[in-house]
Structure 1
Amino acid sequence: MDSNPDPKPQNPNPPPKSPPKNNKDFLIHLETYLAKRDGVDKLLKISRYAAKIALASSLLRHHTPLSARLKSFESSVGVSRKAFRLGKFVQDVNALRAIDAASHSRLSLILSVVAYGGEGVYYFIEQLVWLGKAGLIDKRHLNLLQKWSAWCEFVGYFGSVSLKVMELREIEVQERCAASSVDVAVVRGIKCGEEQERLRKLREKKVMKRLSVVQDLADGLMALADIRDGRGGVLASPLLLSSAGMLSALISTHKNWISC
């Protein structure tokens, strides 16, 4: 007699496998993204510059009902975006407070003050611009407020781009050192999982930093056009500025989506 017990019969009706969570995870991610004001703001920015591109291109004829609706939509979204910036200058105030002067070079410290200070003043003035467009402040002051806002925004982007270029150089130095360590380890047959992971993260960080520089340059171009009141030749082309705004919106949307 065989002493081994009989194998258990297989269940003819196995329990169904749980469905993949990709859809659920996407919806949770989307909910988290939309819960942040920056997430909604960037979606509004995409909508606004999509309308601007349609108006600036030859896709629509001027003085048509659809053109008039798009102009009204674009203007309304622009005012709505300013409402989302209420109190946003506080994050720049906190960023200035968090700067550790001892760990920064003199140039880096100056550029940080210029970047965060310019952006903070810009966001503060934008609150007044919104109040003017909403009718609470006399609209006679709007032109002056918008001019100050554009100058502060441009100064902030100048500091931000300069600072990020310096950070990119530091990242590239670290990347070369990490790549050299990985190459040496591979030649010697030594495991270098940690160095490879560090190299991967440095390369991802470099890509995101480059995208951030492109975004700041696009926004800076639009701020310069506001300063010059559209007098800038080819650089003041409505289609070029609208495309720059869309590029900035897509990059910032991508960054915010990843950070959620």
Structure 2
Amino acid sequence: MPKVKIAVLTSPLLINHNFASRLAAAISSKHHAAAAAAAVEADLLRAEWIASASHQLYSMSSLESARADLALLILYLNKAEARDKICRAIQYGSKFVSNGQPGPAQNVDKSTSLARKVFRLFKFVNDLHALISPPAKGTPLPLILLGKSKNALLSTFLFLDQIVWAGRTGIYKNKERAEFLSKIAFYCFLGSNTCTSIIEVAELQRLSKSMKKLEKELKHQELLKNEQYKMKLQKCNERRLALIKSSLDIVVAIGLLQLAPKKVTPRVTGAFGFASSLIACYQLLPAPAKSK
């Protein structure tokens, strides 16, 4: 009986003790939860700040990149040759669309062709200078003769093209003579591109021989690091591109002269001329900066 009384009397104390411990645990958990929430909020703010800073840095870098690209574009468009080739692409693209039929595309073709002739005023002086300049040392005599023939033909084409321009603008009154000179000019254009194609094929053969010689002397890993081999490989690629362009221009000249009207139609001439113009635009791009 006394034991039961003692248990009954002490039970409220036990209840109070349990309640106090539970209350302390609850307060402690609230403190921990508040601290955890504060830590999470701080992490979120930190992440937001990092994202904002990285976005600003990206915006600045993209702006600098855009400015650099625009500067390169301005440098490119400042070249008269580049503007001429862009107009040439428009001209032959219009010829491809018109296929020789009257309409807006043919009007663009004719007006752009006439406008391009202004870009080429006195341009024949460049090839005239190359004609009288001494050839590079070590060049075989046949290649020298072909190179000089190419310069002479291209210079003649550009000179006669000025008379054609004068005839079409009304400065030169004899239209029949102007059309006759236009045909001679196109024959000169055909001849100069034929010479260019032969020169490029011969130069590619010479480069191939010298590269094979280097390949025998050096191992594969050493070839990739060899500056001389890299330069020859780059020249090889440039000459291949020049060969493709001159071959396309031969077809363009055949189309303009109507030497094969059934096969080389105005549309074919336009397509080949457009492709040749794009290659010329690419060739005029600034050289990439060398990595140090």
TM-score by length of 1: 0.80
Aligned 8 A contact 1:46 1:250 in 2 = yes
Query: Shift of the alpha carbon at 1:231?
Result: 4.3
Partner of 1:112: 147
Residues 1:46 and 2:89 are matched in the alignment:
yes
1 or 2, which has the higher helix percentage? 2
Matches within 5 A, 1:87-98: 87-98=122-133
Range with greater deviation from structure 2 (47-56 or 78-87): 47-56
Partner deviation per Cα, 1:171-215 (whole Å, 9 max, x = no partner): 11222233334426x4xxxx66751x3333322221221111111
Aligned 8 A contact 2:89 2:274 in 1 = yes
- Alignment match of 2:248 (pick from 214, 218, 223): 218
Aligned 8 A contact 2:150 2:193 in 1 = yes
Change over 3 Å in CA distance of 1:143–1:110 after alignment to 2: same
Partner of 1:100: 135
Aligned 8 A contact 1:235 1:241 in 2 = no
Instruction: Determine which structure has more spread, i.e. the larger CA radius of gyration.
Output: 2
Residues 1:19 and 2:58 are matched in the alignment:
no
Structure 1 stretches lacking a partner, 5+ long: 1-11
Change over 3 Å in CA distance of 1:231–1:164 after alignment to 2: closer
Residues 1:125 and 2:160 are matched in the alignment:
yes
Partner of 1:254: 282
- Alignment match of 2:77 (pick from 34, 48, 64): 34
Aligned 8 A contact 2:92 2:269 in 1 = no
Specify the SS of the correspondent of 2:120: coil
- CA distance in structure 1 between the aligned counterparts of 2:284 and 2:132, rounded to whole angstroms: 23
Matches within 5 A, 1:1-260: 17=57, 18-20=60-62, 21-56=64-99, 68-100=103-135, 103-138=138-173, 139-183=175-219, 186=221, 194-195=225-226, 197-227=227-257, 230-259=258-287
- CA distance in structure 2 between the aligned counterparts of 1:206 and 1:97, rounded to whole angstroms: 26
- CA distance in structure 2 between the aligned counterparts of 1:162 and 1:192, rounded to whole angstroms: 29
Aligned 8 A contact 1:43 1:253 in 2 = yes
Amino acid at match of 1:19: S
The alignment's C-alpha RMSD in Å is 2.4
Q: How many residues align?
A: 233
Specify the SS of the correspondent of 2:263: helix
- CA distance in structure 2 between the aligned counterparts of 1:231 and 1:119, rounded to whole angstroms: 20
Aligned 8 A contact 1:222 1:244 in 2 = yes
Structure 2 stretches lacking a partner, 5+ long: 1-48
Aligned 8 A contact 2:207 2:232 in 1 = yes
- CA distance in structure 2 between the aligned counterparts of 1:254 and 1:234, rounded to whole angstroms: 31
Query: Shift of the alpha carbon at 1:71?
Result: 1.5
Change over 3 Å in CA distance of 1:198–1:123 after alignment to 2: same
Partner of 1:3: none
- CA distance in structure 1 between the aligned counterparts of 2:224 and 2:276, rounded to whole angstroms: 35
- CA distance in structure 2 between the aligned counterparts of 1:108 and 1:68, rounded to whole angstroms: 45
% identical equivalent positions: 20
Specify the SS of the correspondent of 1:235: coil
- CA distance in structure 2 between the aligned counterparts of 1:32 and 1:55, rounded to whole angstroms: 33
